[in-house]
Amino acid sequence: MTHTSRRRLGLAAIAVLSVAAVGAALFTQYAWDLQPCPWCVLQRAIFCALALVALLGALLPALLQPLFLLLSLVGAGLGLAAATWQHFVAAEQASCAMTLADRLIGDLGLDARWPEVFMATAACADKPQLFGLPYEYWSGALFALLLLAALWLLLRGKPRERNRFRR
């Protein structure tokens, strides 16, 4: 597998996993009644942006792949920061109304355009759990995995040229 196709496949995998995360969040919301708080919704938005960036990187010329890997790295880092903030700060507050997450979602108009996906319907202090772990652990773990994948693909660089005379 060539270096370019490895990066292209890696970016496509980041996009697919990001979309799958949003799909899983929607499934648990509507099938299992695990309602999202503003920080959960912000993480959904970050996963959507990450999927778009990674998909564009996979489809555009190889010359642009490092840029899109860097953008994916930043996006995954922001998602990890949001999950960490949700766990250590927002979940300990009585209300998460009008926090940064709430304002960002409102300012972007995501909750007005697509309320089925981006409307916060729970408080951060509700602390929903999925299979015994707080929900933000799951998203944080996936953001960390995507961050590491983007970093690995970015730092891999071009493979060294083989010496033709070496056996």
Q: Domains of the chain, with CATH numbers?
A: 3-155 (1.20.1550.10)
Does the predicted model carry a pTM greater than 0.85? yes
Helix (H) or strand (E) holding 130: strand 129-130
Per residue in 74-88, pLDDT (tens digit) is 999 999 999 999 988
Task: Please state whether beta strands 133-134 and 129-130 pair in parallel, antiparallel, or not at all (unpaired).
Answer: antiparallel
CB of 68 closer than 8 Å to CB of 8: no
pLDDT (0 to 100) of residue 9: 96
Q: Is residue 89 predicted with pLDDT exceeding 80?
A: yes
pLDDT above 70: percentage of residues in the chain: 90
pLDDT above 90: percentage of residues in the chain: 69
